[in-house]
Amino acid sequence: MSKSTILVCGPSPDAVGGGPTHMRNLWASPLVREFRLERFTTGSRGRESPARDEPLVATIVRLVASPFVLAWRILRLGPALVHLNTSLDTRGFWREVTHLAVAKTLGRRVVYQIHGGSLQRLTRTRGMRAVVRAVLRIPDAVVVLARVEQREFERFGVVRRLAVIPNAVDVRQFSGAVERVHSGQARRLGYLGRLVEGKGLFAAIEAVDALRREPAFAALEFRLAGSGEACRALEAEVSRRGLEGVVRLVGPLSGDARDDFLRETDVMLLPSRSEGLPYSVLESLAAGTPVVASRVGGIPDVVVDGEHGRLIPPDDAGAIADALRDLAASSERLRTMSRACARHADADLGLDRLAERFGALYRELGAG
């Protein structure tokens, strides 16, 4: 029996970022056993997602050509449905309007998956509220990452099929022959992601500066892995506070280096102001690394406060410091949390679950 074709549109899987990780995970999941997944690359081209190193001329050519290339791919492949992956920022929204229009004009059913962005910011004006509401009623299904987003979209008036399918992580990359044994300390802190102002990193550095003066945290270190426009400002803040021996920016990590970073970290910090469902949290759980993360977006859907780490208000230096003091108070508790993180990821956050939910949605929409 031949497989139904799903044309998956999204960022290049070779780039760094949440969107590319999602694309890689779809192909690494059991979905490929039931469906023929074909890729159509959308968005900026470059080493990161969103990319900042694509020449302007190349950007213009890509934007103009993309709808026509997509139409050709649909006519050539004859997919049962088109799976669009986008974010609710202005650029991503308008780009996917054209792709959505092409797919529906050619008679395809469409899954419209939203990765981050802000519905509230996108719909600040009455005109944009009307446009966004009309556009989001066109796809056959809209997929969001978290229950809090589901409630927001239901209030907004998305009346067609609305599904919550959280991100997943390939837990196999963290399941070695020897089970991780946590140090029982909250000494090696880590951050993994984009170095941008909204991630709460300046608050995290402020918390580290306060804690390092306490005897219990005399050997504290904080490593930030990633790149972004806040890099120089973060370096300046580290220098201003005299934290060069405590806080290090180690640059982007991938592959084994990324996995080793997660395993070597005692506690992962993510005090962001807003999030969807960040892969850094999922990967930390899979690596057995407790997290101190903001109670925003889909994070509370996967992190139980006191069981997998601590949930705190966003961008709050005092709350970060208090959470780390709490975690550092008991070595056995930290080790128990580490084991709970790994078990939770293995049981609930793996690619099998991702494939099961998308497979059910694809079949519901007529594929398979």
pLDDT at 182: 93
pLDDT of 256 reads: 87
In the prediction, which pLDDT does 266 show? Answer: 97
Q: Which residues contact 332 (CB under 8 A, 6 or more apart)?
A: 184
| Confidence grade of residue 264 (pLDDT, cut at 50, 70, 90) | very high
Within 8 A by CB and 6+ apart from 359, the residues are 30, 31, 34, 35, 368
pLDDT of residue 11 exceeding 80: yes
Does residue 271 register a pLDDT over 80? yes
pLDDT at 5 over 90: yes
pLDDT tens-digit series, residues 153-169: 999 987 678 999 999 99
Least confident of 102-106, 157-161, 348-352: 157-161
Helix (H, G, I), strand (E, B) or coil at 117: strand
Whole-model pTM?
0.86
In the chain the beta strands, taken as DSSP E runs, fall at 4-10, 35-41, 81-88, 109-117, 141-144, 161-164, 188-192, 221-225, 247-249, 267-270, 291-294, 309-312
Place of tokens 């021996």: 245
Mean pLDDT of 339-359: 94
Q: Examine the pLDDT at 53 and tell me if it is beyond 70.
A: no
| pLDDT exceeds 70 at position 25 | yes
Q: Provide the CA 84 distance to its chain's centre, in angstroms.
A: 16
Residue with tokens 């899954």: 111
Domains and CATH numbers, the chain: 4-168+350-364 (3.40.50.2000), 171-348 (3.40.50.2000)
Q: 88: burial class by Cβ within 10 Å (0-12, 13-18, 19+)?
A: buried
Q: Where is average pLDDT lowest: 86-90, 260-264, 311-315, 320-324?
A: 86-90
pLDDT single digits (tens) 111-145: 999 988 888 889 999 999 999 999 999 999 999 99
Q: Which residue has the higher pLDDT, 76 or 62?
A: 76
**Which pLDDT value is given to residue 92?**
85
Q: How confident is the model at residue 46 (pLDDT cuts 50, 70, 90)?
A: low
Q: How far is the C-alpha of 198 from the C-alpha of 63, rounded, in Å? A: 28
